[in-house]
Amino acid sequence: MAWDLKSDRPIYAQLVEQIQLMVVSGIYAAGSKLPSVRDMAAEAAVNPNTMQRALSQLEGDGLLYSQRTSGRYVTEDVQKIMQIKNNLAADLIQDFLEKMNRLGFDREQTIDLLNHVTKEEG
Amino acid sequence: MSDSILECRSLVKYFPGCLALNSVNLSVPKGRIVGLLGPNGSGKSTLIKLANGLLTPSSGQILINGMEPGIETKKIVSYLPERTYLNDWMSVRTMIDFFGDFYQNFNKSKAYDMLQRLHINPVDRLKTMSKGTKEKVQLILVMSREAELYILDEPIGGVDPATRDYILDTIISNYSENATVLLSTHLITDVEKILDEVIFINMGNIVLTSTVDEIREKEGKSVDALFREVFKC
């Protein structure tokens, strides 16, 4: 997966988001081992200290955990992952609703439109 | 003192008719990748040359790991100057042997490894190479030392974007946790993702020291955008 980093926001915050995304989408499965900080930093082409900071925050949030000798793992708590997945989805929907609102659609119209479009697709 | 690898105390460098560095106080901590950023003629190279003992301070002090620049500091500092000093007639292999003899911390296998990655033939002589390839060779020699401080003066200026990525990748993956990288450049967009901290220098004065994420958080813009704003002509 390619890392997509914007230039106007703090790098570590963007790393946090993208790692969350990788975990909820199963690229890093529950209980699996993460690559080393250095490898992840090289892959994302960022400073290792910045990657370390992002990983520490995710550890604080409970999505990752460290084992002193063997490295860093994704939590085995599937519920925790689902919770983060739901949070991310809620954020996306909120963002979508706001944009639709700016286009002049209220909530009901938006939902109608959404139903319409998904029916057409299916 | 042991926390900073490079320290300047009221450092002044005066050239006839020109104040290149105006009482600079600066401390570069260990284990960081630091960008020294400033417009042309701001004092970047002067500071770097002072750190390598190629110039001496007019007043004040510059210390590497607590020592004044000299034989002992040259053992721990790996320096990429802005201009090449290598002999044109030498082949890359001869140069690697030369560096191996010269520096105890030179890692030959690392050098050959990087040459291979960049498709440079070790038997080629320097004078047959393009400008960009020469720069690559020089950077490989510098990064193949296991140094405590790497000082890179414009390391990516003359190379293509793909090689630039490889070089930045090399800097990230080669530096150890205790090593510090100080690099000067104009190509801020390319380097800002790999920097911990930036130092803005202008007309011999340090105008800003900050971390990259602090700048993005406070200003809501990239280091490159801030640079363009601060140094608007």
The 10s digit of each residue's pLDDT in B151-175 is: 999 888 778 888 888 888 888 877 6
Q: Please answer yes or no on whether A47 and B193 come within 8 Å at the CB atom.
A: yes
Q: What confidence tier does A69 reach under pLDDT thresholds 50, 70, 90?
A: confident
Task: Identify which of B192, B196, B224 has the shortest CB distance to residue A49.
Answer: B196
Q: Which residues from B are below 8 Å from A45, CB to CB?
A: 165, 168-169, 172, 193-194
Quick one: A64 and A96 in the same domain?
no
Quick one: A116 and A71 in the same domain?
no
Q: Are A41 and A50 in contact (CB under 8 A)?
A: yes
- Cα distance between residue B201 and residue B197, in whole Å: 13
- Per the domain annotation, does A1 fall within a domain? no
- Per the domain annotation, does A50 fall within a domain? yes
What pLDDT sits at residue A1? 60
- Per the domain annotation, does A105 fall within a domain? yes
The stretches of chain B forming alpha helices (DSSP H) are: 44-51, 71-76, 92-102, 108-117, 131-143, 161-174, 188-191, 212-219, 223-230
What pLDDT sits at residue A76? 92
Q: What confidence tier does B97 reach under pLDDT thresholds 50, 70, 90?
A: very high
Average pLDDT, integer, range A23-45: 91
Q: Please answer yes or no on whether A47 and B217 come within 8 Å at the CB atom.
A: no
The stretches of A25-106 forming alpha helices (DSSP H) are: 37-44, 48-61, 78-102
| Structural domain count, chain B | 1
Distance in angstroms between the alpha carbons of the first and the last residue of chain B: 38
Q: Please answer yes or no on whether B216 and A10 come within 8 Å at the CB atom.
A: yes
- Cα distance between residue B198 and residue B183, in whole Å: 10
Q: Are B168 and A45 in contact (CB under 8 A)?
A: yes
Average pLDDT, whole number, for chain B? 90
Q: CA A98 → CA A23, A26, B12, B132, distances in Å?
A: 27, 28, 56, 50
Count how many pairs of residues, chain A against chain B, have C-beta atoms within 8 Å.
53
Q: Are A27 and A1 in contact (CB under 8 A)?
A: yes
* Residue A90 lies in domain: 79-121
- Per the domain annotation, does A84 fall within a domain? yes
Note the pTM of the prediction, 2 decimals. 0.85
Quick one: A57 and A90 in the same domain?
no
Average pLDDT, integer, range B137-146: 92
The 10s digit of each residue's pLDDT in B103-136 is: 999 999 999 999 998 899 999 999 999 888 888 8
Question: What is the distance in angstroms between the Cα of B2 and the nearest Cα belonging to chain A?
Answer: 20
Average pLDDT, integer, range B46-64: 95
Interface with chain A: mutation pick from B213, B218, B229, highest number of A CBs within 10 Å:
B213
